[in-house]
Every structure is written in structure tokens, then in C-alpha cells.
Amino acid sequence: MIKEIYMTRTFGATSTTDDVLSGKDLRGKRVFITGVSAGLGVETARALAAHDAQVVGAARDLAKAEQATAGIQARATNGGGLTLVELDLASLKSVRACADKLVAEGQPFDVVIANVGVMRTPFGHTADGFEMQFGTNHLGHFVFVNRLASLIAPGGRLVNVASSGHRYSDVDLDAPNFERTPYDPMIAYGRSKTANVLFAVEFDRRHRENNVRATALHPGVIKTELDRHMKPDELDIAVQQINAQLAAEGREPFQFKTIPQGAATSIWAAFVATANEVGGRYCEDCQVSEVTDGPISPVSRGVRPYAVDPEHARALWAKSEEMVGERFGSPT
């Protein structure tokens, strides 16, 4: 009866991590999460460990991650808990070393959540010479997840935390490092987030015959460290403009999500939604989004067609392999 009641629940924009996990028993489940030193990553790890999952969390700065997650292990019960590993997604040397170590240990994962990212950084390059946002948000995860793919257990999932920021730009497969155009930090962010969605689409296609699925999502607009490269008043000005537009339309003012609300869609996509519901799809507000090429405002929902186009996803996969100098499985 409890299971039947749980399956009839619906969740939305205000649902929290604890809401979507209410009644769920995650004992014996192993989850890998990137970016557990702040914000959504810490909350995702907390909620999963609190429901008895074994979480392996990755961070570039282990000291910061240890401080941010100090209370998680202390509150874990019934076999749940958190282990930290070092991973710098802006360095393929670090990415390969971390993935190879996990593969050598041989312990499977039920879910991999590619959570961490950078946003609107000044123009710069990763250790391997890639534009910083595309290299960190996409290529770092692309190599890491593919090297780790053999550890994802049948019935498991890859969850890519993308963003509504994908609406700002499609990927540029001819000049991914801004070789031909002036650098724009928001366009670069949009490219990297579109890549997160396309990666999930193609990963899902390649692995679904083995009962491993992939999805991407927008967590919502949340105040986290992700906006640290914005000017101090830039976000406030943007919200004022949005609210002026909403007021003119007779609509309620915009509200930020809390961090537990923002992390809810990741957990919903990983453990609550059915595999066929979310596999190869883009989600937000604990629901699957509609594909739309019409106007999309900061307070509306939907995913751009180019971000979920299967042929486009294959092309990005091939370009990504070319860029990192590594092939992952044969195309089918």
C-alpha cells in the first residue's frame, strides 16, 4: 500500500529532496556525484546518505569538500554515508586518474550524477587547452563518465545537471573554443549546457540496450556559488527586470528556488521517475519538459529542439572524442 501511494505522488517546482525521497529506501544503492563542496552537490549527497545510500562525492578542493560535508557522515545510518575523492574536471589528467582508480576498485554504481559546473567565467582555458566552460562542464564529464561507464550497474542511470542556460546557444562543432568569434561568457555557458543535454541523449542511445539510461535536467534558478563570476548587482537587476515584465502580465513575481528544491529534480530523475519516462529526455521541476522552439522567458519551461536532436548528439559525441583524443565504444 505504501508503495502504491508513493507511486501516485506528483512533484513540482517547490518539491524538495526530502519530499521526493519520502518513503524511499536506498539501502545498498551506490551513487557518484561530482561537485560536493558546495550548493546542489552537498544537498544531493546529504539527502541520499540520509536515506541510506552510499555516496561517493568528488571535488577539486578536498579540504573545502570535507568542511562542507562534515555533518553528512555523522548523520548517516543503515550503511549510508559519504566518501570523498579528488577530481578536477578542468584537467583530463585528473579525470583519467580518478576514473581509473574507481574502475580498478571495481565497485559498481547505481547512479552517476554529473552535477558540478562553472558559469560565465572570464575567457580562459583548461589544462588541456579547451575553452574553460565547455572543457569543464562537458568534456571533463564526457571523459570521466565514459571511463566509468562499465561500473554503472544494469538498471542504473546517468543524470546530467544541465541548465535552462542551454537556450542561449547551441554548440559550435566547427569552433568550440571560440576560434572564430569574440568570447561571450553567457554564450559559452549556453554551449556547455547544451552539450550536457546532448551527451545524455547519445549516452542513453548507446547504453539503453544494457538497461542503463541517461537524462539531463535544469535544477531551477538558485542562489549558489555558481554566480560568483557575475557582477555584484547583476543578478538583482535581472530579477527586477523579470518581475517588471511579470507584473505587466499580471503574473506572480519570480522566486528563487531553495537549494533543497533545486536538488530535487536530480534525485527525482535518478530514483523516482521511471527509466522510460526520463531516458534521453530533459527534465525540470521534477517533470519531463516539452520541446519548444518558441520564445522562452526565464520563468517559462521547455527545452530547445537542438539540445535533444539525436543526430546532433551523435555529431557532438564524435567531435568530443576528437577533441580529447579518445574513443568510447563503437557507434551503433
Asked if residue 163 lies in contact with residue 120, where contact means CB atoms within 8 angstroms, the answer is no
Rg, Å, the chain Cα set:
19
Cα separation, 129 vs 90, in Å, equals 9
Which distant-in-sequence residues (6+ apart) come within 8 Å of 286 by Cβ? 11, 12, 13, 15, 20, 264, 265, 268, 272
Q: Where are the beta strands (DSSP E) in the chain?
A: 30-34, 54-59, 81-86, 109-114, 152-161, 213-218, 282-284, 287-288
Q: How far is CA 109 from CA 33, 34, 265, 270, 301, in A?
A: 10, 13, 19, 12, 31
How far is C-alpha 46 from the chain's CA centre? Answer: 16
Asked if residue 266 lies in contact with residue 115, where contact means CB atoms within 8 angstroms, the answer is yes
Q: 157 — phi, psi (to 5°)?
A: -145, 150
189 is catalytic: yes
Cα separation, 330 vs 314, in Å, equals 12
CA neighbours closer than 13 Å in the CB half-sphere of residue 102: 29
Provide the 10 A C-beta neighbour count for residue 79: 13
- Which residue among the candidates 183, 189, 282, 306 is catalytic per the annotation? 189
How far is C-alpha 18 from the chain's CA centre? Answer: 19
Catalytic site residues? 189
